[in-house]
Structure 1
């Protein structure tokens, strides 16, 4: 029935937020929202997992469940995490995020400049003092067999530090850098499939895509490198 299908879609959204994001984390980051602050080495997936667990523990189910049901049956509907939490709770969430340190993978940039290749190695990339403005969840019914749940983290701010080393012909050097980046955004799209969502629960799920937009607003470079 249509009522059954609506309830199933609403429950699917709950699972996408609470379970889908939490399972993206490869390790248990925070056992509970009252965990004592301490620096944690983790990845961006742990940020998603922390947000999901906190939302599940604090959200007012009396207001959230109707919102999920409405979202599951509306075109272009968006559920705002900030609006579903008390203002003090959202501030507490950002305090939890501040103790997370994201460890990004090392990377190498290679670029031809004049007659030589410039090789720039970036290592020990770590970001901390994380805060978010909002998390927004939408719902797209592609067909009776496929549903996607885009999850957008907006207003993502953080400080980052890294070590760098370069070589260009006979020249080389190394140093460190600090960057402040704000108003970033990250979008993760979860995909669920079923033989028929009107009759059956999803039989397969996964991450369809994950995209980010990073804006560096301030940078400070140290070392024997021409920074101008």
Structure 2
């Protein structure tokens, strides 16, 4: 039994690795800092130039966080997106502006047909409802299907995704001159988010911030 619809039970809640305290300003992973407002960056974000402005993540990709992401992504558990919207809204608070437009990272159409839904679009949709912002769920297009990134190193990931994501010409008007909040399920190297950011900037976005449900940390 749970307290309300879409809530977690006590046992699952105890295993949920929500992120709090000082975080990397580029990806949201926890960092060692005395001041949560410091412009601190994690080791990965110090080594790699990020094309987006700021980033946040709701939780770490481990324990119940990993379980929920995999259920959302591969097990048709759309209800996870409803629950996650609350955590995403909390993480997104420093990034939101009055005219922010929320855009999900797109799937290639072949993968979308196979899976039948884009988990990032579900997250973006429910987040937009939670924070009362416009969601442009088809703002970006994935031009070609890339090989799975599992096992690829950082260089390979960025090479495979270079130029893959472009603006949807029929939706550019909603992104031009606006701050865009890109939403994805998991950030590992940041290659997918970088490609999607370039797509948003090509559409004329004023700035791009990124938000993920989970962040893979080095010790995970």
| TM-score normalized by the length of structure 2 | 0.32
More helix by share: 2
More strand by share: 1
**Greater relative CO, 1 or 2 (CA 8 Å, sep 6+):** 2
Task: Look at both structures and tell me which one has the larger radius of gyration over its CA atoms.
Answer: 1
